[in-house]
Amino acid sequence: MVAASVSLESLCVNSIRMLAVDAVNKSNSGHPGLPMGCAPMGYALWQNILNHNPNNPKWFNRDRFVLSAGHGCMLLYSLLHLTGYKSVSIDDIKEFRQWGSKTPGHPETFETEGVEVTAGPLGAGISNAVGLAIAETHLAAKFNKPDCNIVDHYTYVIMGDGCNQEGIASEACSLAGHLKLGKLIALYDDNQITIDGRTDVSFTEDVLKRYEAYGWHVQHVEDGNHDVKGITEAIEKAKLITDKPSIIKISTTIGYGSPNKSDTAGIHGAAVGEEEAALTREFLNWEYPPFEIPDEVYAHFRKSINKGENLEKEWDSKFEEYQKKYPSEGAELHRMLKGQLPENWDSDLPSYTPDDKGLATRKHSQICLGALGPNLPELIGGSADLTHSNYTDIKGETGSFQPHSPEKRYLHFGVREHAMAAVLNGIAYHNSGLIPYGGTFLVFADYMRGSMRLSALSELGVIYVLTHDSIGVGEDGPTHQPIETIPSLRAMPNMLVFRPGDGNETSGAYKLAIQNRKRPSALCLSRQGMPNQENTSIEKVSLGGYIVSDCEGTPDLIFIGTGSELNLCIEASKEISSLGKKIRVVSMPCLELFEEQEESYKESVLPSSVKKRVVVEAAHSFGWHKYTGFDGICITMDRFGASAPGGECMKNFGFTVENVVNKTKEIL
């Protein structure tokens, strides 16, 4: 390595490096290697290219920056601090990875303003970025006019070898290439080091050829350690490519500046130590003590504040003019950006009586989407190649989001469940009022679980439409019959899991899913039909659990049912009641919402004095024993299913009125 000069540019770049070294050293935890290696590209992008306003991190038309290699978060925190974001002070840098700090171990949107996505698992960030780019492209196609580009910003990503090895990134980037997302630009930190050592122990492909095959524009900057000008020019060139996403491979040295640890796995995820920090200071001609930044560096970086404020003022004036010229579109975009739903958006959600034909809840879901579509223009989504099984199409909508029709709001994700969930998160991260939904079979939630977890963690109101929710799937057999999936999703904090028992409850689930913009919803829907019940309603779903059939006085036994098994409880209760027993039936479409009710309400539905309870659900019993106690039973699925017609599966595994009655008699 050749020692860096002390030009202002070098001082700025080395400020990023040394903040990372000092913060990781102080906490004795973190990943200094990436920020030390990526400092030049971070500087080039944030100082020379990025349109952003440190005084308003939520300005709508800002460029979005995603650090997909989230472990290197000191790069992002250093850039936020140096460019003047109030969310990251020098004291926050000093408290890196400590309790209550604004500089956690991976970037989190809900902790630190200026962080666009919660980049946890590798590959998730670049996949989120595809969603951000889809959101920008869709809104631009919908709202821009020949004389006014009111939606006009880029999505930039820094990703590493780890991101490029994760399958989720391959799925998402393949989709991005198909959709020709020209405003998505990725900077690939090619440092050839991962935790296990040099990448050639497992990763020898030509990454740029792969991306070229995806339909991306590719470039290579060979000297990522010093060539700020070359990086800047490559980004500017990428911006000129409007019909392809772009990836720029930037070859760097991990931990650049550390004489003994750079270019080794040892600097990937461990502090350099005080002795090596001193040697790094000497190598970089850095004459300042820990956490001290020269005034001229702050002055230079914080030009971003005036630049950003001027950019936002220009955009505000343009939007004001846009609203005058195009009052209808202007009012709609303004409403969306404020996070407000349209008036009467839910007015066409259907309600049902027992006289109405019973349908599968996946079909009720399609009817709900058809009712919401015209009234909720921000609804956007699709399916992972299962449109005609999930019924995720919006009635009356023609065509889909394609390179030639990005104004459309139906997305064909292809057989890419993993990427679909991350892309939906990205659309939600865009914070433009769009409401994303995506469909697949419930059992394939296992592909999506990492991103679903990030939906919940990051308070993203993504709607997961998960059909074929039990052994009622039938002939596809146990590989496609979810058993443990529903209880495992219920175990996820901040996730609403709905299993509606008829049409009314499906409408209610959709209403709540749309209203909950800071909680994702999983709608678990049946393949098989079920009758509409007499006492269900859209409104009662908000209680999570409620009485659908009751007796006089204190019941002898309470049935608790969900989904297609709610009707089993209703029918079994009739037979048990005919024996002179007092029976109550409770529908429990959403356990999370029931748990959030007042204790007095929960006691009124499930009196603690009534010990005999029967839960009926064609899923694993995990979690239900809280409600059945020692005196109750679960009629559930604690083994894998079988390949046979759905009705035969339900019968053979005991989901019949006869079996429910017989099992209930045993505890009476």
479 sits in the region (left: phi over 0; alpha: psi -120 to 50; else beta) called alpha
- Which tens digits make up the pLDDT trace of 128-151? 999 999 999 999 999 999 999 999
For residue 26, pLDDT beyond 50? yes
The confidence score (pLDDT) of residue 395 equals: 80
Looking at residues 233-259, what average pLDDT do you find? 98
- Which tens digits make up the pLDDT trace of 329-370? 999 999 999 999 999 999 999 999 999 999 999 999 999 999
Q: Which amino acid is at 295?
A: D
- Which tens digits make up the pLDDT trace of 425-457? 999 999 999 999 999 999 999 999 999 999 999
Question: Strands 529-530 and 359-360, how do they pair?
Answer: antiparallel
Q: Which helix (H) or strand (E) covers residue 410, if one does? A: strand 410-412
Q: Where are the alpha helices (H) located in 493-632, listed in sequence order?
A: 503-515, 565-577, 591-595, 599-605, 625-628
Looking at residues 486-513, what average pLDDT do you find? 98
Q: How far is CA 541 from CA 412, 562, 584, in A?
A: 30, 12, 18
CA dist 331 and 337 (Å) reads: 10
Looking at residues 501-520, what average pLDDT do you find? 98
CA dist 606 and 230 (Å) reads: 68
The overall average pLDDT reported for the chain is 97
Q: Which helix (H) or strand (E) covers residue 421, if one does? A: helix 417-429
CA dist 625 and 280 (Å) reads: 58
What the block records as the tokens of 248 is 């720029």
CA dist 641 and 468 (Å) reads: 13
Looking at residues 265-284, what average pLDDT do you find? 97
Confidence of residue 397 (pLDDT cuts 50, 70, 90): confident
Tokens 């914070």 belong to residue = 431
For residue 3, pLDDT beyond 60? no
For residue 396, pLDDT beyond 90? no
Instruction: Indicate which residue of 116, 171, 417, 617 is catalytic.
Output: 417
The confidence score (pLDDT) of residue 447 equals: 97
Told to judge if 274 belongs to the known catalytic residues of this protein, a careful annotator would answer no
For residue 289, pLDDT beyond 60? yes
DSSP state of 543: G
The confidence score (pLDDT) of residue 188 equals: 98
Beta bridge partners of 157: 66, 186
CA dist 589 and 102 (Å) reads: 37
The confidence score (pLDDT) of residue 554 equals: 97
- Which tens digits make up the pLDDT trace of 409-429? 999 999 999 999 999 999 999
- Which tens digits make up the pLDDT trace of 82-125? 999 999 999 999 999 999 999 999 999 999 999 999 988 999 99
Confidence of residue 2 (pLDDT cuts 50, 70, 90): very low
